[in-house]
Structure 1
């Protein structure tokens, strides 16, 4: 245990997956206060970890390149793998948590000579791990709890911790200046809306989305009833969808973040009163930043991928059907019911949840 002072955590996935790792990171730093902890992740999400005090270094890589070289054949795979080995060798890691669900990363760790390689054995892909949990899917408990359970291999009893995302004072100040330039005042009710997202599901991304016309109706009501200022959280690839969405709004005076960076969008979310979102990355920003949120869950299980830990400052809105959740074993089974789990959620139900959080925020000052 005392020799475990150079620790690597690998998570090559998206925003939510990386933020689900933050309770593990805090526990590792608490258990090994003198250790050096590195986090290996994709280039796109690396910035969200830069201010995390429980990480000493972020090692960013292009996951697409990694997978592409493997598809080109054994020689190309060996070449890229060896380049990474040479790059990481100097760190002399002696403990690693591999959360990739793949065999490539644990093979890399074996080549690096990492003594203790902890992770998941999904479809036999954990063959290069020294300690592993058999896993078919994340089920019945939150992903963050699965990651914490890995500490049992070190005979450690983890403490449950919130998801965490750390913004610098400069990033927060930038958001305040940005919103001020957009005409937002301190007394305004500022509501972030994330009507898109779900690209991690590939061509089936729309299966995770509450209908855009419902989001638009919600925005129209919030503007009229509460004079709320609306912030639309959207990525640069969603500009066409955003243009169509804007056509549905009565009040076009909304704040558009599609030209902002990931960190800038997160900084803006941190200044909002409430967030309303599909089950996507921006929702995780809000949860980790302590922004009260209403989330719409369809094919995914909110017990597994929802708020962590669940509490009264957040509300998950969902409709129960025998077919839900249909995202099982990290795959969608395909929807034969025209997304009834999401289409069945009315605007009034979501509005009621938003109003409940607004009232709670008013009570708490």
Structure 2
């Protein structure tokens, strides 16, 4: 059995979440191994308290730009060369992640068949995966190629998070995450206001990162651009219900709660939706349980999420809020 294992998954938030169960399976199959995870600094807090790994090796990608990049890169390369793992597993599948595996001095490098940018030339073993599968399932294929066994009870070791200052968990509240980087995936201000109105008098907490602004009504707490990653995790855990567009925070929510609606405007929820059979999907004006997606049709078609789509989702959220303790 290998004594030192290197996990390479530097980013992004949702992708890191999708890799957690595969790494848990690798830990179960290699109980005594020393496991190190290469990750970008902004996502490293997500690994806080994770008993499946021993060390975190920071990949400060943002520092390796500009005129001073060589002076900052060379010390990092020297530190990475000292890792010397028996095996490196490249869950990222890009040229830079495969290069990190090579720089580490790994004796074996495993990657997936859908890897890009010529990264497969660095691999000593390739796991055959289906590009149409969910990322969690593809990651499991790589773990299986390394000898890990799949478990029925998936493990997503997400930290408990940090409670935001001066924020009380009671009364119950609904988290709305309306922002995403992908084109046409975000929800506009008018729809956010419609959600707040439909959920009143319940508290609505809007989270995420965006340059957009809206005038928050009385029952809405606007924490846009005001939370750390761990504070966001805490809010997603503590919420009575989460309404989110297809995004990294949505995947965190799917790992910690079943009270979730994931809004998919143009993306296929079978490939990039929540990996949680009890969660709910909005697609093309309809609501589906994730467990029922295989029998759903026209999931590749899409349209915007509109104000008239708010009502059924608000009803689900209000039912969850009504079940929360009053004190």
TM-score under structure 1 normalisation? Answer: 0.75
Indicate the SS of the match to 2:92. coil
Asked whether the 8 Å contact 2:23–2:143 carries over to 1, the reply is no
Shift of 1:325: 3.7
The answer to whether residue 321 in structure 2 is matched with residue 354 in structure 1 is no
Indicate the SS of the match to 2:313. helix
The CA RMSD over aligned residues, in Å, is 3.0
1:303 to 267, 270, 274: 270
Deviations 1:137-193 (A, max 9, x none): 731x3211110111232343322414331226xx3xx44x6323xxx53xx221111
The answer to whether residue 180 in structure 2 is matched with residue 234 in structure 1 is no
1:54 to 47, 52, 55: 52
Asked whether the 8 Å contact 2:36–2:55 carries over to 1, the reply is yes
> Between Structure 1 and Structure 2, which shows a larger proportion of helix residues?
1
Which residue number corresponds to residue 41 of structure 1? 39
Deviations 1:49-69 (A, max 9, x none): 122111111112222445x47
Structure 1: distance between partners of 2:10 and 2:110: 15
Indicate the SS of the match to 2:167. helix
Bigger CA drift: 297-306 or 141-150? 297-306
2:124 to 119, 123, 130: 130
Which residue number corresponds to residue 330 of structure 1? none
Structure 2: distance between partners of 1:216 and 1:164: 34
Indicate the SS of the match to 2:25. helix
Structure 1: distance between partners of 2:297 and 2:188: 21
Which residue number corresponds to residue 329 of structure 1? none
Correspondences of 1:36-115 after superposition (within 5 Å): 36-66=34-64, 68=65, 83-115=75-107
Indicate the SS of the match to 2:50. coil
Asked whether the 8 Å contact 1:164–1:289 carries over to 2, the reply is no
Bigger CA drift: 348-357 or 41-50? 348-357
Asked whether the 8 Å contact 1:162–1:308 carries over to 2, the reply is no
Deviations 1:65-88 (A, max 9, x none): 45x47xx9xxx88x8776444212
1:152 to 144, 159, 167: 144
Deviations 1:231-269 (A, max 9, x none): 11133xx2x41x3x22xx442652525322121222222
The answer to whether residue 242 in structure 2 is matched with residue 275 in structure 1 is yes
Which residue number corresponds to residue 335 of structure 1? none
Structure 1: distance between partners of 2:60 and 2:80: 15
Which residue number corresponds to residue 280 of structure 2? 315
2:188 to 211, 217, 234: 211
Change (3 A) 1:340 1:307: closer
Structure 1: distance between partners of 2:229 and 2:306: 29
Change (3 A) 1:114 1:345: farther
Change (3 A) 1:356 1:268: closer
Asked whether the 8 Å contact 1:19–1:163 carries over to 2, the reply is yes
Asked whether the 8 Å contact 2:191–2:307 carries over to 1, the reply is no
Q: Structure 2 stretches of 5 or more lacking a match?
A: 287-295
Indicate the SS of the match to 1:9. strand
Asked whether the 8 Å contact 1:210–1:296 carries over to 2, the reply is no
Structure 2: distance between partners of 1:356 and 1:316: 17
Shift of 1:102: 1.2
Change (3 A) 1:134 1:154: closer
Structure 1: distance between partners of 2:131 and 2:316: 27
Correspondences of 1:257-272 after superposition (within 5 Å): 258-272=225-239
Change (3 A) 1:163 1:156: closer
Number of residue pairs aligned between Structure 1 and Structure 2: 311
The answer to whether residue 314 in structure 2 is matched with residue 340 in structure 1 is no
Which residue number corresponds to residue 336 of structure 1? none
Change (3 A) 1:51 1:278: same
Q: Structure 1 stretches of 5 or more lacking a match?
A: 327-338
Shift of 1:128: 0.4
